[in-house]
Amino acid sequence: MSLTETYNNIKKSIVVFVSKYIPLAENEPPPIFPHIFGTGFVIREDGLIATNDHVVKSINKLWRPPKLPKNEWSIEAILFKITETGCIEVLLKVLGVFLIGQFNPGTVYYGPNIPDIAFIRVKAKGLPALEIDDSTRLEEGLEVAIAGYPMGTEALTAPGYLHQMTPTLQKGIISAILPFACRNPHAFTINIMSQGGASGSPVFIPDTGKVIGVLYAGLNDFALTANKDISTIPTCISYVVPSRFLINSLKNIDDIPPKLPKDTKSFDELIEVTKTVDKPKEYRRFQIIKIKNTHKA
């Protein structure tokens, strides 16, 4: 298949994570779109989404309403469904997260103690899942593509209004195998610029769509501004966790709660529910929480 054909399938499974609650002062206008803090992708139709460990851990840094129950998450996942009449935002309620607690890397390993991957379960079934592949040999020069939300909300609202509702597709090659070409690399780099919001993007083979890794970081350079301030500059060196770690981790998830509730709707049912909402104000992407302005004149 061509990359265009492959991407038409891939983007159906790309998920964006946003803040569910937005604290605003009384006279402060709401944002155009909720804060995007990461990307993910569906790996099982029963609501399991892959992303990064650092994306999941950043949830604790998001603002929560004081009276929000402890079992309620302050985030939501969104899948954009493109139709003949436009684009539908399908909200996916988060039920729980899975972090890697124990990790056995094997005899030869130069990587971190825990790979930067994690999983989020949402209340939905029949989701479009991507194929995870660990049989492709990782080699320098292998063509790859990624799809996610680099620069988060800024890219979607660059002109001052919401003008993009899809992931961004990028293409490059594997630049290096880490620590070197071997049977058990802990990561590989690609010559694609990574920016905030893209963490958790799937890295896939352009002509098959098979996922061979998860984007987790980018290498930054540094420079001085005219005011002598230090500024970070993204480079075209980005880091990817090989899909082998995803596959091995999935073997231990089946028996871990939370299970899907009996009233869980299918993806098609969620689309229909979204379509039936008449007034835009009744279907909100996020919830505005008005708070007292504590700033003194």
Task: Kindly state whether residue 256 falls inside one of the protein's structural domains.
Answer: yes
Task: Kindly state whether residue 213 falls inside one of the protein's structural domains.
Answer: yes
Q: What is the pLDDT at residue 296? A: 39
Grade residue 82 by pLDDT with cuts at 50, 70 and 90: confident
Pairing of strands 287-291, 21-25: parallel
- How close are the terminal C-alpha atoms of the chain, in Å? 62
Q: What is the mean pLDDT of the chain?
A: 88
Task: Kindly state whether residue 161 falls inside one of the protein's structural domains.
Answer: yes
Which range of 95-99, 221-225, 283-287 scores highest in mean pLDDT? It is 95-99
Instruction: Please give the residue that has the higher pLDDT: either 30 or 291.
Output: 30
Task: Kindly state whether residue 296 falls inside one of the protein's structural domains.
Answer: no
In this predicted model, what pLDDT tens digit does every residue of 31-40 receive, in sequence order? 888 889 999 9
Pairing of strands 75-83, 287-291: unpaired
Instruction: Please give the residue that has the higher pLDDT: either 49 or 29.
Output: 49
Evaluate if residue 62 carries a pLDDT over 50: yes
Going through 32-85 in order, the beta strands assigned E by DSSP cover 36-44, 48-51, 75-83
d(CA 161, CA 42): 28
Task: Kindly state whether residue 229 falls inside one of the protein's structural domains.
Answer: yes
CB 83 within 8 A of CB 112: no
Grade residue 30 by pLDDT with cuts at 50, 70 and 90: confident
% of the chain residues with pLDDT over 70:
92
Task: Kindly state whether residue 148 falls inside one of the protein's structural domains.
Answer: yes
pLDDT (mean) for 156-172: 93
* Six token digits for residue 110: 């130069």
Task: Kindly state whether residue 155 falls inside one of the protein's structural domains.
Answer: yes
Q: What is the pLDDT at residue 279? A: 43
Grade residue 295 by pLDDT with cuts at 50, 70 and 90: very low
Q: What is the pLDDT at residue 132? A: 97
pLDDT (mean) for 14-29: 88
Instruction: Return all residues near 87 (Cβ < 8 A) that are at least 6 apart.
Output: 80, 81, 165, 166
Domain range holding 139? 3-291
Domain count, the chain: 1
CATH of the domain at 215: 2.40.10.120
% of the chain residues with pLDDT over 90:
59
d(CA 6, CA 171): 12
Question: What are the φ/ψ torsions at residue 153 (nearest 5 degrees)?
Answer: -65, -30
CA proximity to 257, closest of 116, 121, 127 = 121
CA proximity to 178, closest of 252, 118, 105 = 105
In this predicted model, what pLDDT tens digit does every residue of 193-242 receive, in sequence order? 999 999 999 999 999 999 999 999 999 888 877 787 888 888 999 999 99
pTM of the model: 0.90
d(CA 139, CA 283): 46
* DSSP class per residue in 164-221: --S-EEEEEEEEEEESSSSSS-SEEEESS---TT-TT-EEE-TTT--EEEEEEEEEEE
In this predicted model, what pLDDT tens digit does every residue of 109-161 receive, in sequence order? 888 889 999 999 999 999 999 999 989 999 999 999 999 999 999 999 999 98
Report how far apart, in Å, the C-alpha atoms of 129 and of each of 27, 79, 126 are: 42, 12, 9
